[in-house]
Amino acid sequence: MRVGIVSPYPWDVPGGVVAHIADLAEALIARGHDVAVMSPVDDEDAPLPNYVTRAGRSVPIPYNGSVSRLLLGPVSAARVRRWLHEGNFDVLHVHSPETFSLSLLALGNADGPIVATFHAANPKSRILSILQNPLQVYLERLSGSIAVSPAARKTIVDHLGGDAVVVPNGVHVAKYAGAIPMPGWPGPGGALGFVGRIDEPRKGLAVLLAAWPQIRATHPDTRLLVAGPGKLDRVPEGVTLLGQVSDADKARALASVDVFVAPNTGGESFGIVLLEAMAAGAPIVASDLDAFSRVLEDGALGELATVADPASFAERCLTLLDSADRRQELRSAARRAVARYDWSVVATEVLRVYETAIAANTGKVVEGASVLEIEAIEQELPAL
C-alpha cells in the first residue's frame, strides 16, 4: 500500500503528534508498505528520514494550553499540491486537521481515500466552536476518522459534529522493556522521574517541584531525574536535569527510576508517556485527569494523585517509595496491560481504517479538482 501521511507540526520540534507519526510510519514500513510523510521543518539543516518531505517553516500559535507550531500559506499549498500530484497514494492520512495547519491544506487540496487522526481533547475549545462551520466543508472529504482516545472522540462529537473510531497511541514495547538504566541510577535512596517540556506549565513540573521538599523531608537521599527541553531558574538539591534526550536515552531514563511521575495539569487526550513508562517497568504516579485515569485503569496500573495538588503527589510518591511490593505489583500489571498498545497491534487497527476508506472510494488519492480556499476560516480568526 502506498500511504501519504501529513504532519501538522514541525518534524524537528519534540512533540507527541510528531512522535506518533514517526512511529506509525516506521511500523508501516516494517510491514512492507510504501510511506511518504510531508511535514513542516523549522531547521533547514535538521536531518530527516528519507520518507519525509519538507513543507516549509512553521509559525508558533498558542493552543490548548500549549504552543502549536503551525504552517499555512501559498508556498506551502503549492508544495502540498505537488506532493499529492507526485505521490500516487492509495490513502492519505492527515493528523489534527482541525488545526490551522498543513494537514488542513492537504485535506482541502485532495480527493480520494482520506483518513484523519484527531489527537486533541479540549471539551471547551473556543477555537473549534468558532471554526466549526467552515471546517465542515473540509471534514466532509474524510473517508475515515480516528481518535486517539475517548476524550479526543468526544471533542470531535461535541465541536465538529462527526464521529471516529478510537485507536490509541502506540508504543514500541520492546525498545523500552529492554532499556538499560543509566550508571548510578536509581541508587540506594530511590529515584523519581519526570519527562516533558520543563517550560510548558501544563506538563506540571512545577507541581512536582512543589511536592519535592515534602518528599525529601522523609527521604533525604531520594533523587529526581528530569528529561525534557527547557530550563529552571534554580535547580533544587537532588534534582538532575538531562535536557532534551533521544528516544533511546528517554527509555534509559525511564528504566533508571523507582517511580515515574506525570503531574500534568490538563489538555491531555491520552498520555503516551505513561505507556512508555509502563513498558520500561517504571511504576507510575499520575494526575487523575480523565485521559490518564483511563490509561491507568482507574488506579489498577498506577497511583492517581489530585490534579495540581503537591501534597497529594508527595503522599502518592512516598507510598510507592516505601513499598517495594506495591511497586512490583504495579510493574507486573502494567507490563501485561501495555502489550495492548504495542505498535504491532495499533498499526493493524490503523490499516483496517485505511482499508475501509479505500473500499469506500474508487481510485487513488489525487490532487483536488477544485482547490478549497482558506479564506472562509481566515475570516473567523480575528474573533479568536
The whole-model pTM stands at 0.88
Closest CA to 197 of 261, 156, 244, 257: 244
Query: Which pLDDT belongs to residue 139?
Result: 85
81 CA to centre of own chain: 27
According to the model, what pLDDT value does residue 378 have? 47
pLDDT at 75: 79
Q: Taking the CB of residue 92, how many other CB atoms lie within 10 A of it?
A: 30
pLDDT of residue 34: 98
Q: Considering the domain 173-341 in this protein, what is its CATH number?
A: 3.40.50.2000
Q: Among the CATH numbers 3.40.1180.10, 3.40.50.2000, 3.40.50.720, 3.30.70.980, which is that of 2-170+342-383?
A: 3.40.50.2000
372 contact partners, CB below 8 Å, separation of at least 6: 108, 109, 137, 138
Tell me whether strands 66-70 and 59-63 are parallel, antiparallel or unpaired.
antiparallel
Give the residue ranges of the chain where pLDDT is below 50: 370-378, 380-384
Which amino acid is residue 140, in one-letter code? E
pLDDT at 209: 98
* Residue-level pLDDT at 384: 39
pLDDT of residue 225: 98
The closest alpha carbon to 93, from 67, 63, 119, 69, belongs to: 119
- Identify which of 217, 171, 194, 154 has the alpha carbon closest to the alpha carbon of residue 334: 171
Task: Give the model's pLDDT for residue 341.
Answer: 97
What type of residue is 247?
D
Give me the residue label for grid cell 518531505: 53
pLDDT value, residue 381: 44
**In whole angstroms, what separates CA 57 from the centre of its chain?**
20
Distances (CA, A) of 185 to 121, 256, 280, 371: 35, 5, 14, 56
So what's the pLDDT on residue 372? 47
Which tens digit of pLDDT belongs to each residue from 162-201? 899 999 999 999 999 999 999 999 999 999 999 999 989 9
Three-state SS across the chain? Answer: CEEEEECCCCCCCCCHHHHHHHHHHHHHHHCCCEEEEEECCCCCCCCCCCCEEECCCCEEEEECCEEEEECCCHHHHHHHHHHHHHHCCCEEEEECCCCCCHHHHHHHCEECCEEEEECCCCCCCHHHHHHHHHHHHHHCCCCEEEECCHHHHHHHHHHHCCCCEECCCCECHHHHHCCCCCCCCCCCCCEEEEECCCCCHHHCHHHHHHHHHHHHHHCCCCEEEEECCCCCCCCCCCEEEEECCCHHHHHHHHCCCCEEEECCCCCCCCCHHHHHHHHHCCCEEEECCHHHHHHCHHHCCCEEECCCCHHHHHHHHHHHHCCHHHHHHHHHHHHHHHHHHEHHHHHHHHHHHHHHHHHCCCCCCEECCCCCCCHHHHCCHHHC
Report how far residue 336's alpha carbon sits from residue 338's, in angstroms, rounded to the nearest whole number: 6
Domain ranges for the chain, please list them: 2-170+342-383, 173-341
Q: 46 near 14, Cβ under 8 Å?
A: no
| pLDDT at res. 257 | 98
Helices 324-338 and 272-280 pack at an angle, to 10 degrees, of 110
**What does the block give as the cell for 321?**
517509595
Distance (Å, whole) CA 106 – CA 116 = 11
Output the pLDDT for position 125: 56
Cα–Cα distances in Å, from 301 out to 38, 135, 254?
A: 36, 38, 16
Q: Which residue has the cell 494550553?
A: 65
Which of these, 102, 159, 107, lies nearest to 133 by C-alpha position? 159
CA distance 315 to 58: 42
Residues composing the chain: 384
Establish whether domains 2-170+342-383 and 173-341 are of one fold.
Answer: yes
pLDDT given for residue 133 in this prediction: 61
